[in-house]
Structure 1
Amino acid sequence: MTQPGINPYTDPTARRAFLDREARLRQLSEVETDFVRLGDMPDLARWLDQIRATGGCAVPVYLAGHTTALASDTGEILRHYTTATEPNGRLAVRCRNRRASRCAPCSREHSGDTFHLVRAGLTGGKGIPDSVRTHPRLFVTLTAPSFGRVHRVGACHPARRGRCEHSGRHGCGSTHPATDVLVGQPLCTACYDYPGHILWNASAPVLWKAFRDNLYHHLAARMGVGRGEIRRLTRVSAAKVAEYQRRGAIHFHAVVRLDGPDGPASHPPSWASTDLLLETVRSAAAAVALTLPWSAAYGDGRLRFGTQLDAHPLAGSDGGRLTDDAVAAYVAKYTSKSVESAGAVDRRIESLAEIRALRVTSHVRALIATAWRLGDLPELRHLRLHAWAHMLGYRGHCLTKTRAYSTTYGQLRADRADHARTLAGVRDLYTDWDDTTITESAWRFVGTGHTPAEALLAAGIAEDLAANREIARQSAGERS
């Protein structure tokens, strides 16, 4: 930079320095040039504060606007904030993407919220009474059926003589480590039921709903009451997370709890036991069957859950095979993962040509292409398979819960924001607002993401925060 008051176009020395600097900038890489820009930013410290507040978010959302709180009786301004004084006139907020592949800092926060959401439904807290830990509770895993033999971890399918009608092998005979790329790949792609696989993934949310409805029906049958009466006697509360297996099929991990008719605050009937719930879960899952509309493209059949159903009683925090905290952590772990765990992509597909260019296994490519082709069928348009081809047909949420199971993500975020305001000493400006307070806000979206240098700084901030958390965790462990 030239000194103030010196014109680089008339002063020879200043002009030479100016031209030398411009030449050096042209030689710098894009990242280095961006670092120079950031170094010249007068309010760089404030921008860094914003990125620290987002936890080092990899893809922050930038907003511009203002918020003003007024006393309705006097018109006094209680609080006013505007982005006009912020760097570039905007404020960075978290992207809140749950996928670790897209934003590790935000996915970690989402996983933490999921842990507390699931744990509150098991042990109480967050507005849920502690008595829920005495209710019948199960940890259930519902799997997809077989669509064809695939390579599996450990001792794979025993090698057998002969081949299938497509000249593919009937068995493998190898032992695969967990990191083997063959795990989850079909032994014979021609034998594999790709349409059935995609349609199962696409119908998985409907199958889950049918399972929940069946729970009430089977409970009513066992107790000898009508289907309408059973809902006045007990309530099934549940939270489930979807996980992709290595073969690309969805399966569900779920916490299932029996409450009284008024939800977690009421005790279930005396006849509601863990053993009864265990038997009902097994029979309800086995009875689920969804009929597909007939088409020559995929045949006629029924969609069901797989035979590998696991259901285990929860032992609380005092021991046993599964504890409340372990289950909550297990469920929370899967909310940061998505279809990339099956080797697919986490962005939408726009055309068949894009599918051919994807850097994925032949199995995943076949699944995505099958979803795209099935999306062209009129009778399957309601499944929107073009939009969800990158998700291998699955179009449901990662985690869902019944209304009465526990708290909500929105409430957890509100509590965290309230805690942050308390630490900042401004909580009194946000609380106790009622009809005597008027809030005027106007916000607009102005951008998203980082420049190359900003991305490196944000990643460094995220690493520093993670290191600080690890140091704090270790210190807490030593004190205990």
Structure 2
Amino acid sequence: MTEKEILRLVADPGFADWLNQIQRVHGCAHPIYLAGRTVIRDPESGTVLHEYSTATAPGGKIAVRCRNRRESVCAPCSWVHAGDTWHLVRAGLLGGKGVPPAVSRHPRVFVTLTAPSFGPVHRLGEQRRRCRPRRDAPLCPHGRELSCAQVHSRTDPLIGQPLCPQCYRYSDHVLWNALAPDLWSRTVRVIRRRLATAGGIPRAKLKEHLGAAFTKVAEFQRRGAIHYHAVIRLDGPDGPASEPPAWATIEVLSNAIVSAVQSVYSPLPYAPEIGHFEARWGTQLDIHSITVGRGAVSDQAVAAYIAKYITKDVGSFGGTDRRLLTRHQIARRPVSRHFRTLMRTAWDLGDAPALASLRLRARAHTLGYGGQALTKSARYSTTYKKLRAARAAHAGPVLPVGEMDAAWRFVGAGHTPAEAEIAAGVASDLAWAREAANEVRDA
């Protein structure tokens, strides 16, 4: 891109209108362009109450946000999505957005569930801790040392890489990622069973006494394994508007979680390529009671923590966010050798008939994982759809109620190099303004 291209764009008669559109979509990196019209009429008289057409818009089209949650794809849209996630999680902890404030008094815990070990990997040197110090410096069957005395910094590319790639159980790693969503679903069911047992209630009648609401976000660790951060809240039989029974305490909930995590597993049918395999949680399990106000595990901190990770994906940790079409593409992806091996393993396992339901080839770029970034139970809090509608109504104007006749079509997407430069500047200015506003607020 040259300076002449930018000057040509700025000199275009429709530039001011185009820039106004880009500002309205917060400098979206990959806007969707639509052309068409909307007419709203009074259902009885047929009088036109509202009419809009892109006929007078620059290029006869209008830009809308791509709405991609991934920061690596579109930072402006990921920021908006993170804000929606913050409100969604916070409403389930403090109330608001249709959730009664009484939920702040319900038992609530913040849980982190991790994957098991598939072989030793290099670790972050927090508090100057050495990676894997071993006095005897043992060797693996392939002659590699199973120890590391380095103190790895957060940006060290060795973090998450196996000490011996030949010993690392790549097939188990990919299959665990693939089964993680099912393992979570089974865990939630077992937690509810354990709660019923703790309350002396038949499992079939638990809903008449107690409800367990949750939301969780998935995060890729540096080694490429999924782990989950979850909020679990206990309610009464009528949801967040009702108090849970007195016996349903944080201690009872925590014990139910520990028991479920230690016992639950997700099996696969026997396949010659893998033998017998079942996914289980790792030994690292963190459970913290959520406090009101400020603090390391406060409702505000938990909402911010989950909102931060909703914008991340495997690409944020050295992977790729683009789907693979052939096995040969793996060698050309700018990722670590460890991630390439995971992708090849997923691709090759995808050829096994017994594993067809896992769709491993379609998910090779995500190392086998095919679950949602964030899920929640129906009664936890509001929805993304309602939050987007509220934001659109706030941005105004409110459209009149009537019979709508709309005809829209897709006419393009993305930016030219010159447009991308201008849009990036818009996004940067908005980000700076947000940071300045936050500094003033926190002063």
TM-score (norm 2): 0.96
Q: How many angstroms does 1:37 deviate by?
A: 3.9
Q: Distance in 2 between matches of 1:304 and 1:474?
A: 44
Task: Name which one, 1 or 2, has greater alpha-carbon Rg.
Answer: 1
Q: Which amino acid aligns with 1:42?
A: P
Q: Following TM superposition, where does structure 1 have runs of at least 4 consecutive aligned residues deviating by more than 4 angstroms?
A: none
Residue 18 of structure 1 is matched in structure 2 by: none
Q: How many angstroms does 1:34 deviate by?
A: 3.1
Is 1:458 matched up with 2:416?
A: no
Report 1:300-379 matches (<5 A).
300-317=276-293, 321-379=296-354
Is 1:409 matched up with 2:409?
A: no
CA contact (8 A) 2:219 2:309 kept: yes
- Count of aligned residue pairs for this structure pair: 438
Q: Partner of 1:410: helix, strand, or coil?
A: helix
Q: How many angstroms does 1:340 deviate by?
A: 1.6
How big is each residue's C-alpha offset from its partner over 1:42-85, in whole Å with a ceiling of 9 and x where there is no partner?
21111000000000000000011111110111111111000111
Q: How many angstroms does 1:161 deviate by?
A: 3.5
How big is each residue's C-alpha offset from its partner over 1:199-233, in whole Å with a ceiling of 9 and x where there is no partner?
00011110110010001111122222221111221
CA contact (8 A) 1:34 1:451 kept: no
Of residues 1, 12, 16 in structure 2, which corresponds to 1:45? 16
CA contact (8 A) 1:184 1:247 kept: yes
Identical aligned residues as a percent: 51
Deviates more, 1:221-230 or 1:276-285: 221-230
Q: Which amino acid aligns with 1:156?
A: C
Is 1:128 matched up with 2:99?
A: yes
Is 1:469 matched up with 2:440?
A: no
How big is each residue's C-alpha offset from its partner over 1:372-427, in whole Å with a ceiling of 9 and x where there is no partner?
00111111111111111111111011011001100011101100111111xxxx33
Of residues 351, 361, 368 in structure 2, which corresponds to 1:393? 368
Q: Partner of 1:199: helix, strand, or coil?
A: helix
- Structure 2 unpaired stretches of 5+: none
Q: Distance in 1 between matches of 2:317 and 2:352?
A: 26
Of residues 188, 192, 208 in structure 1, which corresponds to 2:184? 208
Q: How many angstroms does 1:143 deviate by?
A: 0.3
Quickly say closer, same or farther: Cα 1:36–1:390, change in 2 above 3 A. same
Is 1:275 matched up with 2:251?
A: yes
Q: Distance in 2 between matches of 1:168 and 1:296?
A: 29
Is 1:151 matched up with 2:122?
A: yes
Quickly say closer, same or farther: Cα 1:176–1:40, change in 2 above 3 A. closer
Of residues 393, 398, 404 in structure 2, which corresponds to 1:439? 404
Q: Distance in 1 between matches of 2:189 and 2:441?
A: 45
Q: Distance in 2 between matches of 1:394 and 1:314?
A: 29
Residue 234 of structure 2 is matched in structure 1 by: 258
Q: Distance in 2 between matches of 1:33 and 1:75?
A: 51
Is 1:141 matched up with 2:112?
A: yes
Residue 58 of structure 1 is matched in structure 2 by: 29
Residue 24 of structure 1 is matched in structure 2 by: none
Is 1:109 matched up with 2:80?
A: yes
TM-score (norm 1): 0.89
Q: How many angstroms does 1:168 deviate by?
A: 2.0
Q: Partner of 1:440: helix, strand, or coil?
A: strand
How big is each residue's C-alpha offset from its partner over 1:84-128, in whole Å with a ceiling of 9 and x where there is no partner?
111111100000111111101000010011001000000000000
Q: Distance in 1 between matches of 2:192 and 2:138?
A: 48
Q: Partner of 2:271: helix, strand, or coil?
A: coil
CA contact (8 A) 1:239 1:400 kept: yes
Q: Distance in 2 between matches of 1:83 and 1:59?
A: 19
